Structure formats: C-alpha cells, structure tokens
Amino acid sequence: MIIKPAKRTESVQEYYFSRKLKEIAEMNAGRIARGEESVINLGIGSPDGMPPEEAVEALCEGARQPGNHAYQSYVGIPELRAAFAGWYREWYGVELDPATEIQPLVGSKEAILLISLAFLDKGDKVLVPDPGYPTYSSASRLVEADIITYDLCAENGWWPDFDALESMDLDGVKIMWTNYPNMPTGTAASEELYARLVDFGRRHGILICNDNPYSFILNDRPLSVLAQPGSKECCLELNSLSKAHNMAGWRIGMVAADQQVISEILKVKSQMDSGMFKPLQLAAVQALSQGPEWFSKLNAEYRRRRVLAGEIFDLLGVEYDHDSSGMFLWGKVGQSASGFRSGDDQASSGQRLSDWLLYEAGVFITPGFIFGKNGEDYIRISLCAKPEVLKRAAEKIRRAMQVAE
C-alpha cells in the first residue's frame, strides 16, 4: 500500500459476518467440488420472505417514470415522511412532525455512524450494551469516543441494571445505545423499561439512542421509547423496513427525534449521500400502509420457525426462552454439549460449539462472543431460514453427534 491507513481504522476489524461469510464461501467451493452439500447458514438475520406486493409494484412502476431517476432531496419525499409519521401514530401511539422530526435513511445501520459523527468528539463517552450489536462499538471507536460497556445479564432479564448504571462515573457520557426487542437475546421492551430509560437520560443529560427494528417480530404489541412522556428531550429512535417488511436489501430506514437532533444528523448525512432513489421511497410508502393481517401472517411463520430452532437447541442441550421476541433464538450452552465442542481450548464455550457445528455438521450458528463477554457462553440461531432448512440442519447435527459419540 502506498500510504498508511488512518489510525482510526486500527481500532476496528472487518465485520465478523463479512469475514465468516468469506470462510463459508471457501468451504462451500471445496464441498461442491467434492459433491457434498453446502454449509447451512443459520447465522445472519436477513429475512427470506417477499416484501409486500404493493411495494414491489410501486418500485417497478416508479422505475418506469423518467423523472424518478434524478438526485433526490436529502430529507426524503414528503409522502415518505408522512407515511413514517402515520406508521408511528397507528402502531406506537407516537405523534411526530413529518416535516421536522423524521429523517429517512439508507437503512438504519448508517444512522449509528451518522449519530456518532454528529454528537461525539474524541474522548466523549458512550454507554454500549454487553451483549449488543457490534456496530455500536465500532462506530464509537471510529469517532475516537471512549466506550463504557454496561452489562445485560440473564439474571436481570437482559435489562440494564439501573442501580449499577447509577453507581458508574457518568461524567462525560453523551450517548447510551439501547435495543429492544433486544438483539441478540430476544428480550421484549416494556413500558416500565422505556420509562426508566427516559428518566435516566433526562436526569443525567444523556441522549438515549433506541434501536427498534425488531418491534413487530414475534411481538404482539410494538412499543416505542418515544411514547414515554418527556422522551423527546433525551431520546431518538431508529427503525427500518428491513425486518418487519422483508426488505433488508432495500436499505430503507429512519430516525425519529426532536427537530434539533434531526437537524444535526442531517448536517452529517447531507455530506455522505445524495438522497434515496425515489422509486424506493414510493415503495416504502406502500409497505408502511400494511395492516394487521400482514404482521399476523409474518409472525405465524416466525413462530413456526422458532419452534424448529428450539428443537435444534433441545438436541444440543442448549437452554433458551421459548417465548423470545425478534428473529433470533438465543441459547446458553449447557454441560451436555461439552462433548460437541472443538477448537481452541481458550475460546468460549459458545465459540467452540459454533466451530464444531460448522466443521463437523456443516451448519453455521452464530457464537455469542461476538456480541460481548456476556455472550461468550451462548449461541444464536437466525429464524431467517425456511422450515425445511431448519429441519435439514437438525438432521445434519444429529448425524454429526452420532458420529462423535
């Protein structure tokens, strides 16, 4: 390389799933050459269902219109902002000004870095959950903020320990990342939890950044932190169409917050892109108009898959919550799985079991260590696999276990 990379890149690595998918692709090339079955990937939460038909039609029709292929407004078309506002009003009971309190995004993942760039200086502190989405930490490192992890533990129902938070040195903390229904644990949100987060943020002058893409998945009552009194003083919320509308690859998300917060995010975003393709925005308007029958059908399928994923955990002796929310099943590796672990003895039990499943059974299940130290004894199954795939994975695991015994 002719020049040295920026020092900030030394603090992060290539995203775990990016590295793992390359490894699996190499394994599959060899397997195919030998006439073997490819690895079954139960790792990533990428919905495999079709988006609403109305959204697909709107995309196609919009793409046929000559005037829709130009640069678009950085703030999104009025119809999309109005549709997001209506969605929040109908499902979350939250009133948002579509002109000033909503910013459409190219997926909500980009917002994690945009927010970090907008509000964090070098040396500012950020509260990040453990276990939690790795991007919260990597975005914080890229802006040279100081990460303070806060524990989520099974004995506390995977909620923040507010007593422990109050005992921390919070001087210099500007942002707290939260995510409910939680990824990876599947813990649902509640009015009590959100009320406590708002109270904590207001008293300590901390911006609560709630990441809320799973609120419709295996969850009969979607909740928003912005429904809490006083929340707009100290909260923003990310949401997207990726999970609830089977549109992950479309990259359509949003952030909702007070006008001043939105303005600061827009300062950064307007330097980074040139607006969202208009046909995508028109399609999103149609997706957001889906009624209860859409979510009922969606969740009926995820419930079926959760049972099948649970059967895999039962086979492995992994403990899990049968009623978890979101599109993953999170389970603790028990002693009965000790005979089916491979790899470095210094690795966590979750990583060793994940490696054994990949190399011996040809099934990839995510190890929990990638989400933090509190996930080291856990593994996670994505429900974004058809029932027949989950059943086939169970068969392969059962056969590998029999060979190992």
What digits encode the pLDDT tens for the residues 60-117?
999 999 999 999 999 999 999 999 999 999 999 999 999 999 999 998 888 999 999 9
Backbone φ and ψ of 400, nearest 5°:
-65, -35
The residue among 242, 299, 375 whose CA lies nearest residue 365 is 375
**pLDDT confidence bin for 7, thresholds 50/70/90:** confident
Q: pLDDT by residue (tens digit) across 117-176?
A: 999 999 999 999 999 999 999 999 999 999 999 999 999 999 999 999 999 999 999 999
How far apart (Å, rounded) are the C-alpha atoms in residues 328 and 384?
8
HSE-CB of 108 using CA atoms within 13 angstroms: 24
How far apart (Å, rounded) are the C-alpha atoms in residues 94 and 215?
14
User: How high is the pLDDT of residue 107?
Assistant: 85
The residue among 166, 169, 163 whose CA lies nearest residue 125 is 169
Is residue 195 within 8 A of residue 180, CB to CB? The reply is no
Q: Read off the DSSP letter of residue 69.
A: G
User: How high is the pLDDT of residue 109?
Assistant: 87
The residue among 306, 136, 285 whose CA lies nearest residue 219 is 306
User: How high is the pLDDT of residue 15?
Assistant: 82
The residue among 184, 164, 134, 178 whose CA lies nearest residue 377 is 184
To 5 degrees, how large is the angle CA 305–CA 310–CA 316?
A: 140
Is residue 166 within 8 A of residue 201, CB to CB? The reply is no
- Count other Cβ atoms within 10 Å, centred on residue 136: 25
User: How high is the pLDDT of residue 336?
Assistant: 65
Domains in the chain, please, with CATH?
7-49+293-404 (3.90.1150.10), 53-290 (3.40.640.10)
Percent of the chain with pLDDT over 90: 86
Looking at residue 108, its amino acid is S
Q: Is the dihedral of CA 321, 323, 325, 326 positive or negative?
A: positive
Strands 125-130 and 146-151: parallel
Write down the pTM of the prediction.
0.94
**pLDDT confidence bin for 339, thresholds 50/70/90:** low
